[in-house]
A and B are shown apart, each in its own frame.
Chain A
Amino acid sequence: MSGIEEGACLDGEPGNAGLREGAGRTTAPTYTTSSGIPLSAHYGPGDVPDDHWLKVTAPPGQAPFTRGAYPEMYRSKPWRIFQLSGFGNPEDERERIRFLLEHGETGFLMEHDRMTADHLYDVDHPEVVARRDDVGLTGAVILSVDDYETVLDGIDIASTYAHAGGAVVQHAPFANACYWTVARRRGIDLRRLAGTGQSDFNLTYLGCINKVQVPPRDGLRFNLDLIEHCTRYLPKWVPVSIAAYNAADTGLNAFEELGALMANAAEYLDGIRQRSKLEVADVAHGVGGVNLRTSMDFFEDIAKLRAARSMWERLLRERYGVTDERARRLRIHVVTAGSAMTYSQPLNNIARGTLMGLAAVLGGAQSLGVSGYDEAITIPSEHAHQMSVRIQQILAHEANLTAVADPLGGSWLVESLTAQLEERAWEFFELIQREGGYVATLDSGWLHQRASAGASLAMDQVENGDRILVGVNAYQDDVSPFEVEGFEGTTDAWDRAMTRLAALRRERDSRAAASALRTLEGACRSGVNIMGPMLDAVEARVTVGEIGEVFRTVFGNWDVPIVF
């Protein structure tokens, strides 16, 4: 009998066959969700609180939306197949995006080079020059609006939903402005342009902290400027998309992810209310497109998506008095947990991606990105990317999953978990408020400590063998091993970007560029909405590094609360 069969047929207590020496459970098993909610052996009507039953008598598409954002869900609105993509030169990114769209992707996400985009450095900045090999590995190098033109060439942006890049807060105003400029030049009515730049605090200030970036309070001002600008001029654009995913993949558990999401949103909506130029109801749609994570706790992840909708509806109704029911509807983009993907036995990740994608579908996601099976090894190869799309297509077409909305609604287990997650998430939300609010918990490092504790706990569970990961701490020895060669991307991105940069500086009207940068700096200092001057600067062909110089001069650098 092989180790796999032996391990799998045991009931509850995992066997030690196939486990690494020293691994294996050291204590009696306790049954909980990954966030620590105790699990009974079976569930019944008594496990669901009465007030929760009341909520779920409302069908999908009606407040509080626990059961779904839309009445017919995937019958009328199939989820968007939406994969992160990009590397190398602008042309490389364009080819990969076109490849994905040709194979059935229904929206696209632009990934930019982490060093130049996230840090707002030009390619000749000393910090970049010192690491020139790395340039273009995590996304395309985009210096100016010219490079946006190159990436988007031949892509129908009028009718394809896009993530324009700008996941990092200080990059978002520039990234959005570049994308909108390309659209405007093509004669597209910006009032009809759909997409997002994301501009996510959880990535920027919690999970992936740049060496240099504007402090959170100034980042908050950028996001409020974006919300205001889009509400007026680009009503179909999602100006900010809170990616609680990034909080979760840094270590927050399911109810902490939800609580942090609501606290983050409250920070934006409080800010809008204080500016008193717009009503919260007017901006609700723009803030109500968020990104959650599904990982490897199937039922808890499904319950989490349901709880998120219900919490959002309550937040807008109770805290902000939004009376329009449609304005209290949350739309959810799900990305499957990158951290759940393993380095060893990488094809197993296709099964993990399928399970996590299934949880997103059963939870009622509006769009989905499935991590590549080579996620732990490198950026996705073309094959891994294609596989992520195929997984989604199988979910969409083969297993009859889309005919009925909220198919697990009424399950005693799922309803019980939904109610418990919501309760615990509100407690976490209150905890953040007591710490001074979401931005204060980033400035103080409180949220980082919580994430760090969660990450350590998860690591300990794997290390102790309390949690089995196939191919990692159990069943390591494949009889028939399959190795995936890591995709290396392109290696000429820095050289070619240096050439483009020199040409750009030579060819453009340098006085117009300098003048636009001065106007932008003035707006940064005065408190005027920066998006108007940013659009003018983009039109004057300023570079990403020049924008960075302005921000660094005006706002300085965030004093990061953790050492790593």
Chain B
Amino acid sequence: MSDEPARILMAKTSLDGHWRGVTIVERALREAHFEVIVLGMATAEEIVRAAVDEEVDLVGLNLGGRSAVVERIVAELRAQGSDAPVMVGGVITPQTKKRLESSGIAVFPPGSSLEDIVATARRLCEHSAEMKHEAQ
């Protein structure tokens, strides 16, 4: 991994404006020296566009609604040539958590530890950097 800080895009997929959780995660990521771009409440298309334009290493989604949007975003990222992994937090049913995890998406429901979130972000960003390096 280069000395440049890894870059994470954070966005909310729904129009639910609760902000307590996302700002706590954002703070933890910044304190862990990530560069965090906060997109706010955005559509799947807006999230993919920002991730591609900003060449982020990781996309963090706050889910306040249903979850099919996550797979849509992953598919569209890949279609547009971005290998950025996706991690998800928010109010997520156990059955949805299992489904997303089975497709390799890290899921952090309420009560997740910040330490775990940061460690996962670090691991995923390193992986992302290796992929970029191989692509070059």
B1-44 interface (Cβ within 8 A of A): 12-20, 22-24, 26-27, 38, 40-41, 43-44
**A452 and B23 within 8 A (CB):** yes
CA distance A486 to B20 in the complex (A): 22
Q: Which residues of A contact B111 (CB under 8 A)?
A: 342-344, 376, 469, 471-472
**A485 and B23 within 8 A (CB):** no
Q: Which residues of A contact B18 (CB under 8 A)?
A: 207-208
**A131 and B94 within 8 A (CB):** no
A462-505 interface (Cβ within 8 A of B): 463, 469, 471-473, 483-488
**B93 and A131 within 8 A (CB):** no
> Please, what's the 1-or-0 string for A369-398, where 1 marks a CB less than 8 Å from any CB in chain B?
000000011100000000000000000000
Q: How far is the CB of B124 from chain A (nearest CB, A)?
A: 20
Q: How far is the CB of A21 from chain B (nearest CB, A)?
A: 10
Q: Which residues of B contact A347 (CB under 8 A)?
A: none
Chain-B contact segment, one of A132-140, A271-279, A311-319, A546-554: A132-140
**B27 and A456 within 8 A (CB):** yes
CA distance A207 to B20 in the complex (A): 8
B95 in contact (CB, < 8 A): yes
- A130-B44, A376-B111 given; A119·B15 CB < 8 A: yes
Q: How far is the CB of A446 from chain B (nearest CB, A)?
A: 16
Q: Which residues of A contact B132 (CB under 8 A)?
A: none
**B91 and A378 within 8 A (CB):** yes
**B13 and A131 within 8 A (CB):** yes
CA distance A469 to B114 in the complex (A): 15
B68 in contact (CB, < 8 A): yes
**B68 and A133 within 8 A (CB):** yes
**A133 and B65 within 8 A (CB):** yes
CA distance A483 to B15 in the complex (A): 28
B80 in contact (CB, < 8 A): no
**A455 and B94 within 8 A (CB):** no
**B19 and A562 within 8 A (CB):** yes
Q: How far is the CB of B131 from chain A (nearest CB, A)?
A: 29
B96 in contact (CB, < 8 A): yes
- A138-B16, A211-B41 given; A459·B24 CB < 8 A: yes
Q: Which residues of B contact A209 (CB under 8 A)?
A: 17, 19
Main secondary structure of the interface of A (DSSP, over half): loop
Q: Which residues of B contact A112 (CB under 8 A)?
A: none
CA distance A211 to B115 in the complex (A): 30
**A488 and B93 within 8 A (CB):** yes
B49 in contact (CB, < 8 A): no
**A208 and B17 within 8 A (CB):** yes
- A211-B41, A376-B110, A463-B115 given; A485·B95 CB < 8 A: yes
**A486 and B19 within 8 A (CB):** no
**A134 and B15 within 8 A (CB):** yes
A250 in contact (CB, < 8 A): yes
Main secondary structure of the interface of B (DSSP, over half): mixed
A285 in contact (CB, < 8 A): no
**B23 and A564 within 8 A (CB):** yes
Q: Which residues of A contact B26 (CB under 8 A)?
A: 564
CA distance A296 to B109 in the complex (A): 21
Could you tell me how many residues of chain A have their Cβ less than 8 Å away from some Cβ of chain B?
A: 48
- A130-B43, A130-B45 given; A114·B15 CB < 8 A: yes
CA distance A455 to B109 in the complex (A): 17
A297 in contact (CB, < 8 A): no
Q: Which residues of B contact A211 (CB under 8 A)?
A: 15, 17, 40-41
Q: How far is the CB of A219 from chain B (nearest CB, A)?
A: 15
B78 in contact (CB, < 8 A): no
B113 in contact (CB, < 8 A): yes
B105 in contact (CB, < 8 A): no
**B17 and A210 within 8 A (CB):** yes
A257-301 interface (Cβ within 8 A of B): none
B129 in contact (CB, < 8 A): no
Which residue among B17, B26, B43 has the maximum number of chain A CB atoms within 10 Å of its CB? B17
Q: How far is the CB of B36 from chain A (nearest CB, A)?
A: 10
Q: How far is the CB of A470 from chain B (nearest CB, A)?
A: 11
Q: How far is the CB of A112 from chain B (nearest CB, A)?
A: 13
- A131-B65, A564-B40 given; A463·B114 CB < 8 A: yes
- A209-B19, A486-B96, A488-B93 given; A22·B115 CB < 8 A: yes
**B114 and A564 within 8 A (CB):** no
A47 in contact (CB, < 8 A): no
CA distance A137 to B96 in the complex (A): 15
A131-159 interface (Cβ within 8 A of B): 131, 133-134, 137-138
> Please, what's the 1-or-0 string for B107-128, where 1 marks a CB less than 8 Å from any CB in chain A?
0011101110000000000000
Q: Which residues of A contact B14 (CB under 8 A)?
A: 114-115, 131, 134
Extra contacts besides A210-B17, A455-B23 (6): CB < 8 Å: A118-B15, A130-B44, A211-B15, A473-B113, A486-B96, A564-B38
What 7 pairs across the A-B complex have the smallest Cβ distances?
A: A486-B93, A134-B65, A564-B19, A209-B17, A130-B43, A133-B66, A376-B110
> What residues make up the interface of B, taking CB atoms closer than 8 Å to A?
12-20, 22-24, 26-27, 38, 40-41, 43-45, 64-66, 68-69, 91-96, 109-111, 113-115
- Can you give 19 contacting A-B residue pairs, CB < 8 Å? A20-B113, A114-B15, A134-B15, A137-B66, A138-B65, A207-B18, A209-B19, A211-B17, A343-B109, A344-B111, A376-B91, A376-B110, A378-B93, A459-B24, A463-B114, A469-B111, A483-B94, A484-B94, A563-B40
